[in-house]
């Protein structure tokens, strides 16, 4: 079966602050579009608003860089307070060369700067950290949406990550609930009865990427609703985006 997929940007969310019920605010913003949230939809939510709702703000002025952070910052040409924060939010440094600091963050994602950044954060020197447990955030968001609507859509929390070998960033899933993050075709047959070799699709990441097409980075449109992907939505919360993490000892690029 094939199907049309539609990505609906959800506009009109207010500036999110610590303690806000993001789920309820999303439900309200979706209702303004004249659409309703259905259990077969997927809501893709930018990390930034999740972090804001969870109060994951840090003021760089409050950060005292240690010696390691100062050394690394000098070498990379970065703000030592930011480097200190990145190191605190990380369990491993994967690369520290030129002006790039790539780390394994506390929640297991490998990214530049542990996902810490200052864009779209009001206030000078204020940055957001990634949600502490993005899969738990996705589950919570899903429950809030269920409480407000009775519907149980899939939820993806997305962030823009760079990649080795390829320029530019794409949005990927750092958390999810209620979707199958991987669609495993191995062992199934192709049209000609031949085996489909090693085809496991990272659906959660493709949902994040599709959602990103529907919004500009400057627009305050941190949520998009994806329709036509019911086959990936599950009634239980499922394994979350944790299922997308390649184990360290199976990774050739650590």
Q: Which of residues 177-216 bind its own copies (CB under 8 A)?
A: 181-182, 185, 188-192, 194-203, 205-207, 209-210, 212-216
244 lines the binding site for its own copies (CB under 8 A)? yes
Query: Which residues ranging from 150 to 169 are in contact with its own copies (CB under 8 A)?
Result: 160, 163-169
Closer residue to its own copies, CB minimum distance, 66 or 220: 220
Closer residue to its own copies, CB minimum distance, 135 or 171: 171
Closer residue to its own copies, CB minimum distance, 68 or 254: 254
68 lines the binding site for its own copies (CB under 8 A)? no
Number of residues that bind its own copies (CB under 8 A): 79
187/162 Cα distance (integer angstroms): 31
Q: Please give the backbone phi and psi of residue 55, each rounded to the nearest 5 degrees, phi first.
A: 70, 30
Query: Which residues ranging from 3 to 62 are in contact with its own copies (CB under 8 A)?
Result: 3-9, 11
Residue 161 CB-half CA count within 13 A: 24
Query: Which residues ranging from 118 to 147 are in contact with its own copies (CB under 8 A)?
Result: 118-122
Per-residue x/- track, 216-235, its own copies (CB under 8 A): xxxxxx----x-xx------
**Contacts for 113-118 with beta carbons within 8 Å, 24 or more apart?**
113/82, 113/86, 114/85, 114/86, 114/89, 114/90, 115/47, 115/89, 115/159, 115/161, 115/174, 116/58, 116/82, 116/85, 116/86, 116/89
Question: Residue 107: which of 19, 182, 170, 172 has the closest Cα?
Answer: 172
DSSP 230: G
Q: How far is the CB of 177 from its own copies (least distance, A)?
A: 18
Closer residue to its own copies, CB minimum distance, 18 or 213: 213
Q: How far is the CB of 106 from its own copies (least distance, A)?
A: 15
CA dihedral 248, 168, 101, 160 (to 10 degrees): -70
Q: How far is the CB of 143 from its own copies (least distance, A)?
A: 25
Closer residue to its own copies, CB minimum distance, 144 or 206: 206
Q: How far is the CB of 95 from its own copies (least distance, A)?
A: 5
| Contact with its own copies (CB under 8 A) among 102, 141, 152, 158 | 102
Closer residue to its own copies, CB minimum distance, 62 or 192: 192
Q: Bridge-partner residues for 195, per DSSP?
A: 189
DSSP 246: P
Residue 37 tokens, joined:
């949230």
1 lines the binding site for its own copies (CB under 8 A)? yes
Closer residue to its own copies, CB minimum distance, 150 or 164: 164
89 lines the binding site for its own copies (CB under 8 A)? no
- Give the torsion sign (CA, 111, 112, 117, 119): negative
Whether 223 and 53 have beta carbons less than 8 Å apart is answered as no
């Amino acid at each position: 079966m094939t199907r049309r997929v539609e990505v609906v940007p959800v506009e009109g969310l207010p500036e999110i602050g610590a303690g806000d019920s993001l789920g309820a605010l999303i439900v309200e913003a979706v209702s303004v579009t004249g659409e309703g949230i259905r259990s077969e939809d997927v809501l893709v939510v930018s990390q930034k608003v999740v972090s804001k709702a969870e109060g994951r703000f840090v003021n760089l002025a409050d950060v005292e860089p240690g010696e390691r952070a100062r050394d690394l910052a000098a070498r990379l040409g970065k703000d030592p307070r930011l480097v200190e924060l990145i190191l605190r939010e990380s369990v491993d440094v994967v690369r520290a060369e030129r002006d790039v600091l790539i780390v394994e963050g506390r929640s297991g994602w490998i990214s530049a700067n542990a996902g810490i950044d200052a864009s779209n954060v009001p206030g000078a020197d204020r940055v957001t950290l990634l949600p502490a447990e993005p899969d738990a955030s996705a589950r919570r968001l899903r429950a809030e949406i269920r409480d407000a609507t009775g519907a149980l859509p899939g939820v993806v929390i997305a962030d823009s990550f760079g990649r080795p070998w390829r320029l530019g960033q794409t949005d990927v899933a750092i958390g999810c609930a209620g979707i199958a993050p991987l669609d495993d075709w191995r062992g199934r047959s192709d049209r000609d009865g031949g085996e489909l070799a090693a085809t496991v699709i990272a659906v959660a990441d493709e949902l994040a990427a599709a959602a990103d097409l529907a919004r500009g980075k400057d627009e305050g449109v941190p949520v998009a609703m994806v329709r036509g992907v019911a086959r990936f939505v599950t009634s239980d919360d499922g394994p979350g985006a944790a299922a997308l993490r390649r184990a360290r000892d199976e990774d050739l690029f650590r």
